[in-house]
Structure 1
Amino acid sequence: MAIIYPLQPRLSSTSTKIVIGLIWALAFSLAFPQCYYSVTQHYPPRTICMVNWPDDYGGKHHLTYQIAMIVLIYLLPLLVMLITYSLIGQTLWGSEIPGEASDHYQNQIQAKRKVVKMMIVVVMTFALCWLPYHIYFILGSFNKEIYMQTYIQQVYLAIFWLAMSSTMYNPIIYCCLNQRFRSGFRHAFSWFPFIKVSEEDKMELQHTQTFRMTRSYRTENTKSTVVRHNSTQHDDHTTVKLMKS
């Protein structure tokens, strides 16, 4: 929203809290069936937690639940990211920076295109990390013999850790593909003895702060200009009415 519609108002604090609350409510509702149908069975010397679906032999509930999970937490977020990141990428890649074609201009163009590449890598990372997790449960819905294999526990843990680590790679991607993020990370962790903030990092962060202040000033200036223009029109309209009367 900030990139495509920079001058539109942001969500209010109340609206943001409502959206966050709805997201958490949806997350709890999606996880509730597994909690409701979970049972513990003792296989000496271990106690195992299993999801005992009502139609354990037919597997219809299990398959329906897994398909719903794939659509809601994998395909739908992937589709949303593809659409929104495509719009952002089109805006960044196709937009032009006002001014002459200097070295700074070329650096700005390259930086914008790196942002587009960074978003592509983020989407691909999300898709690759979660794909084995969903394939595992879909295959298990059709063939439960998979769960009885010798090393299936180790395979499941590896797939589960890969899926849960999907968002962990985002800061690494940001740091590798964006100079501003690298400068910000160095500044944030400058209290480590082996991390030093260079002059280039300070200039990068100072440029970011100056850009934000300039954009904020321009936005406020635009709003005040609109208000003055509306006020002038109102005064002119009032004057005309008085002259006619």
Structure 2
Amino acid sequence: MGNIIWTIFFSLIVICSIVGNIAVLWVIIGNRRMWSVPNYFLANLALADLGMAMLNTMPSFIFMRDGVWQLGSMYCSVNMFTSVLTVNANIFTLVGLTVNRNRAILTPLAPRASSLSLVIGISFIWLLSGVAAVPSAVFSKLVTVSTKDGGKKALCLMVWPDGWQGKSSMDHHYNLFLFMINYLLPLLYMIFAYSRMGCVLNAEVIGESTSSSRMARNKKKKVVKMFALLVFLFGFCWLPYQLYFLISHYVPTIARQQYTKDMYLGFYWLAMINSCINPLIYYVWNERFRSYFDDIIMYWCPIKMRRNQEIEIELQSMASGNINSARRIIHTRMAVLPKPSETTTQC
């Protein structure tokens, strides 16, 4: 029964992550209004989460659940490599996003990042992530062990020159290295950076303050809060998983306890939640993302429902005095609405 529940939980995470992150990529790439440096970093973050969901989550879960690796030697190395690669790319992208926002808020008169510097920055994120993940591909092996009933089963493990993972000092040093570069040090920097940005945005403005300047300042505050929330959730979701590998080296008996399997699956499940929660944050915190997400949702809903929702949005815009917004909505939506003579169908 426990295996069925865990399978449902992980399946839901994978589905939500794939759908949500594809929607994020669709929104950013397919709409020119979303082409900005912060959104390109969010697209890179979605790509890393999508890679984790599609290439790593389910194979790793099935291996943890069944205690047997059934996907062969080659995918054993691929799975180990992508698990480290995507986590590194995730946190390094958050760092890049933080650097960009920190520069924009603390030095607003500085030149904006060029397209070339953005491409170089994102390429460097993936290069650094890949280099740090190389040992996990090189030392991952498919090993065969004997079972209690005299049979044999295959395991996908890290086999270092001085022993298997969990017993190797090299494995412990590698886990400690990963903990420092893809968790502790980036989080410390980002906590400091967002605290500093918060102090600057909340400081009193010297000189005349206009309504437009206050509106721009409040918009920056909201964006910074959203990005800080992304960082907080990353740290919260990955903390138990990161600590498990460090503690298990000093307390090796923890791996042989009866409750360890469910505990480890719980830690891994919490870590994987991080790959599907980001699109939800964008939807709740960012009006422009929410508008485009609603377009995607309405595209797959009945046409009649879409028409009713469009009329409601138009009326709300007109009632609030936002005539330009209402005109834009009417103009952009009329192309997808059927003629009166057409019958209502399901998408």
Give the TM-score band, short-chain normalised: 0.5 to 0.7
In the TM superposition, what whole-angstrom CA distance separates every residue of 1:141-175 from its partner, at most 9, and x where no partner exists? 22333223335344333322322332422222233
Does residue 174 of structure 1 match 2:174?
A: no
Aligned equivalent of 1:61: 170
SS at match of 1:165: helix
Following superposition, the deviation at residue 69 of structure 1 comes to: 0.7
Does residue 133 of structure 1 match 2:241?
A: yes
Note if contact 1:184-1:205 (Cα within 8 Å) is conserved in structure 2: no
Considering Cα pairs closer than 8 Å and 6+ residues apart, tell me whether 1 or 2 has the greater RCO. Answer: 2
Following superposition, the deviation at residue 16 of structure 1 comes to: 2.5
- What is the aligned counterpart of 2:291 among 171, 174, 183? 183
Question: Amino acid of the residue matched to residue 241 of structure 2?
Answer: Y
Aligned equivalents of 1:204, 1:79: Cα separation in 2: 46
Question: Amino acid of the residue matched to residue 23 of structure 1?
Answer: I
In the TM superposition, what whole-angstrom CA distance separates every residue of 1:71-105 from its partner, at most 9, and x where no partner exists? 100012212322332233234333659336xxx99
Aligned equivalent of 1:70: 179
Aligned equivalents of 2:251, 2:136: Cα separation in 1: 19
Quick one: structure 1 residues 153 and 31, their matched pair in 2 at CA, closer, same or farther if it must change by over 3 Å?
Answer: farther
Does residue 35 of structure 1 match 2:137?
A: yes
Aligned equivalent of 1:152: 260
| 1:80-229 pair list within 5 angstroms | 80-94=189-203, 98-99=209-210, 113-193=221-301, 196-197=309-310, 198-199=313-314, 200=316, 203=322, 206=325
Following superposition, the deviation at residue 34 of structure 1 comes to: 2.0
SS at match of 1:47: strand
Quick one: structure 1 residues 49 and 201, their matched pair in 2 at CA, closer, same or farther if it must change by over 3 Å?
Answer: farther
Larger Rg: 1
Question: Amino acid of the residue matched to residue 186 of structure 1?
Answer: D
Aligned equivalents of 2:183, 2:280: Cα separation in 1: 22
RMSD value over aligned CA atoms?
3.6
TM norm structure 1: 0.66
Following superposition, the deviation at residue 137 of structure 1 comes to: 0.4
Following superposition, the deviation at residue 52 of structure 1 comes to: 1.8
Aligned residues: 205
SS at match of 2:142: strand
TM norm structure 2: 0.49
Name structure 1 gaps, 5 residues minimum. 210-245
Determine what percentage of the aligned residue pairs are the same residue.
Answer: 33
Quick one: structure 1 residues 84 and 187, their matched pair in 2 at CA, closer, same or farther if it must change by over 3 Å?
Answer: farther
Quick one: structure 1 residues 119 and 11, their matched pair in 2 at CA, closer, same or farther if it must change by over 3 Å?
Answer: closer
